[in-house]
Every structure is written in C-alpha cells, then in structure tokens.
Structure 1
C-alpha cells in the first residue's frame, strides 16, 4: 500500500513510519525538513510547511495514497485544507486527536462524551483556539466534510524515552534533583500509552475497516501520587510536592484538577489488544531515572 504520513520524523510518528516500512509499504513523509530524514532512501520525502497552503498543495499534487496519516493537524482550517487537497487522492485518513477533547471532570471518558458529528464548527487557525478546542474543531470538520472515511485516534499522554515533550521526564528530573513539583490534585488519575503502542494503533486504524473516533490508551490508570511513588522507589529520593503556589518552573504538566482518563473498550471490541499500564510504566520510569542519574554523574565528572 501507498502511505502518506504528515509528521513522521520523531516520537510516535517516527515509530509509525518504521512500522509501515517493516510491513513493506511504500511510504512518503511530509515534513518541513527541519528534523532531517532519518529513513534515507527507504521513504519518499516531501518538504512543505503545513501553514503554507500553496506549498502544501504543490507537494501533494499529482499523487494518490491508500492511507494518509495526519499527525500535525491542530485547527479546523488545517482540517479543511487537507480534505480539499486529498479529495480523490486517498481512500482513508487517520487523524491524531487527543484525550484533551474531553473535559477533566473525574468521569472515565468514552467516545460518546465528545461527538464531533454534531459539534458546531467555528473556522479559524491554530492560534485562534486552545489546543483542546483546536482538536475538537478539527474533528468536527473532518467528520462532517470529508468525502472519504476518517478515523480520529484520541490519545492520552504518550510517553517513551524519546518523548520530545519530556513531560514524564520533568517529574523524574525534579525528584532526582530534589526540586519541588507543584500539582493540583495528587489523587487525580491519568491514562498513558507508549510511543510504540501509539504507532501500533495508528497502523491498525489504517489497515482495518474502522471509522469514526477511537480512544487509544493502555489499559488501566494511575494517580499522580502513585506515579510519583514509582519515581521515588526507582530513585531513592522523596518527592517534594506542593499543592499551592510554587514558581513557574515547578508547575507539573500533569497538574489536573480531577481524574482524566478514558476507556479503550471500543477499540478493543474492534480487534486491538492494548497493554496493561502497570506492566510497563515502572520499567520506563526506572529507565528514565537511570538516564537522569547518569547525566548527573557525567556533569560532575
């Protein structure tokens, strides 16, 4: 199959490209060219800025694909542009969406908690919306206006050793370095998925017959208190947690007011089997702690 991936040079986008290549697909990546091409001649590379409609149209002209993955769509205008460009050029689009389409209100989220099919569209660019609203608007445009099948994959926090956002790394580094962390609710539970599993589900979403919104998350959830406890156990250090105040540097990117996690029952019913969170999260944290400890030792030497 011919596959186009918008954003495929880092984190789970890169893992997706690797998975497609392992399965002998003809892969094209579209990037701004700033991260290079880690795949060399194994893939075709198109260079275009997502925000420059003219260069995007030029880059995607005169070619068709069986599956298109869009990992870098953040607004309704982005969504509108891509479905216009891909009209007659693909048989399916997989859109990387997010848990942030749901409110953090303490209720375990299912796909029915946000229905893009009846959501009012407000057209605008990325800067016109919050991250969460931009993704809601993009979903609404894609599901209401695309002439081809669409899957919106709603990921929770994606983690891994190569996570460029370094949100889990933040907590490891702060605890290992005995620095304070400011949280809102230590008992709030969250869900996670690894970069490998995120890529695996995206691949599944492309080659299977599923359509519509799907939650994709490892099975299980963990409270922030227990997450910090795993880091404490791995590092032998005590977390210095504050629930009030703190400077900007201490603010946790996981500072949520209430439980914020989702069910993967719909995706599992469609045939995908997810990992158990508690099977891999401690191992990942141990690896990140070791990495941080080695960094500290090298700086001292």
Structure 2
C-alpha cells in the first residue's frame, strides 16, 4: 500500500512508519522539514506547513494514497482543509483523536459519549479552542465533510521511553529530587497506552475496513495514588503530595479531578486485542527510574 503520514517523525508516529516499512509498504512522511528525517531513504519526504492550506494543497497535488494518517490535526479549520485537499486522493483517513473529547466526570467512556456526527461545528484555528474542543470540532468536520472513509482513534495519554512530553518522566524526576507534586484528586483513575500499542492500533485502523470513532487504550486503569506508589517502590523515595494549590512547576500533567478512562469493547469486537496496563507499566517505570537516576 501507498501510505502518507502527517506527523511521523517521533513517538508513536515514528513507530507507525516503522510498522509499515517492516511490512513492505511504501511510506511518505509530510513534515515542515525542521525535525529531520529519521528514516533516511527508506521513506519519501514531503515538506509543507500543516497549517498553510495552500502549501499543503500544492505539495499534495497529483498524489494518491491508499491510507492517509493525520496525527497533527487540532482544529476544525485544519480538518476542513484536509477534507478538501484529499478529495479523490485517498481511500481512507485515520485521524489521531483523544480521550480529551470526553468530559472528566468519573464515568467510564464509550464512543457514544461523544457523537461527532451531530456535534455543532464552530470553525476556527487551534488557538481558538482548548485541546479537547479542538479535537471534538476536528472530528465533527471530518465525519461530516470527508468524501472518503474516516476513523478517529481516541487515545488516552500515551506512555513510552521516548515520550517527548515527558509526563511520566515528570513524576519520577520530582520524586527522585524530593520535590512536591500537586494533584487535585490522588484517587482519580486513568487509562494509558504505550507508543508501540498506539502505533499497532493505528496500523490496524488503517488496514482493516473499520470506520467511525474508536477508543484505543490498554485494558485496566490505575489511580494516581497507585502510580506514584509504583514510583516510590522503585526509587525508594516518598512522594511529596499537595492536594491543593501548588505552583505551576509542581502541577502534575496527570492531575484530573475525577476518574477519566474509557472502554475498548468496540475495538475488541472489531478484532484488536489490547495489552493489560499492569503487565507493562511497572516495567516502564523501572526503566525510566534507572535512566533518570
């Protein structure tokens, strides 16, 4: 197959490209050309600014694709532009969406808890919306305007050794350095997925005939209290927790006021088997602790 990946040079996007290369497919990455090309001559590279519709349209003129992956769409304007540009050019689009499309209300989320097909569209750029609302709007535009099949993959926070956001790293570093961590609710449970599994599901979403929104997360959830306990056990140090206030530097990027995770029943029914969170999370924590010590 002929694959185009927007946002494929780092983290799970990079893993996705590697999966397609390993399986003998032709891959093109589209980037701004600022972060280099980690694949060398194994892939083709197109240079364009994702936010510039004219630039994007020009570089994608006279191209056709079996599957396009859009990992870097954050607004309805960007979604509208890609729908127009890819009309007649692709057999399918896989859009990386997020758990943030769902409210944080303590209820385990199914795909039906956010329905993009009847969501009111408000056009705008990414700076006009919160992250979650931008993704909701992008989903709504894609499902209403696209002339090709679309899958929206809703990921929770993605974990991995090479996570450029360093969110799990943050907690380990703060505990190692005996610095405080501020959380609104230490009992709140969350779900996570690894970069490898995120890439595997994106591959699955593209190469099987599924359409529509799909949750994708490791099976199981963990409270922030238990996650910090894993880090304490591995480091031999006690976390300094603040449940109120705290300066900006101490605020946990996992800080949520209530349980926030989702079910993968729909994806499993389609044929994908997810890992168990507790099978890999302790190992990842140990690996990062060793690295950061």
Q: Please give the range of the TM-score, normalised by the shorter of the 2 chains.
A: over 0.9
What is the aligned partner in structure 1 of residue 92 from structure 2? 92
Q: Quote the Cα distance in structure 1 between the aligned partners of 2:140 and 2:54.
A: 24
CA-atom RMSD in angstroms: 0.5
What SS does the corresponding residue of 1:181 show, helix, strand or coil? strand
Determine the structure 2 residue equivalent to 1:23: 23
Displacement of 1:175: 0.5
Instruction: Note the alpha carbon deviations across 1:225-263, whole angstroms, 9 max, x for none.
Output: 000000001100000000012111100011100000000
- Correspondence for 2:149: 149
**Counterpart in 2 of 1:48?**
48
CA shift at 1:58, angstroms? 1.0
User: Who is 1:117 aligned against?
Assistant: 117
1 CA distance for matches of 2:176 and 2:201?
Answer: 33
Question: Where in structure 1 are there 5+ consecutive unaligned residues?
Answer: 294-301
Q: Does 1:170 align with 2:170?
A: yes
Structure 2 residues without counterparts, runs of 5 or longer: none
**2:18 aligned with 1:37, yes or no?**
no
The two structures have a TM-score, normalised by structure 1, of: 0.97
**Within 1, Cα distance between the matches of 2:246 and 2:252?**
10
Determine the structure 2 residue equivalent to 1:271: 271
CA distance, structure 2, for counterparts of residue 180 and residue 60 of structure 1: 48
Rounded to whole Å, the distance in 1 between the matches of 2:96 and 2:273 is: 19
CA separation in 1, counterparts of 2:245 and 2:71?
35
User: 3-state SS of the aligned residue for 1:37?
Assistant: coil
Deviation at 1:148, TM superposition (A): 0.5
CA distance in 2, matches of 1:202, 1:104: 25
Deviation at residue 179 of structure 1 after TM alignment: 0.5
- 4+ long deviations beyond 4 Å: none
| Aligned match of 1:207 | 207
Partner of 1:231: 231
- Partner in structure 1 of residue 252 of structure 2: 252
Q: Distance between the aligned counterparts of 2:232 and 2:55, measured in 1?
A: 49
Q: Determine the C-alpha separation between the residues in 2 that align with 1:197 and 1:181.
A: 28
Q: TM-score, normalised by structure 2?
A: 0.99
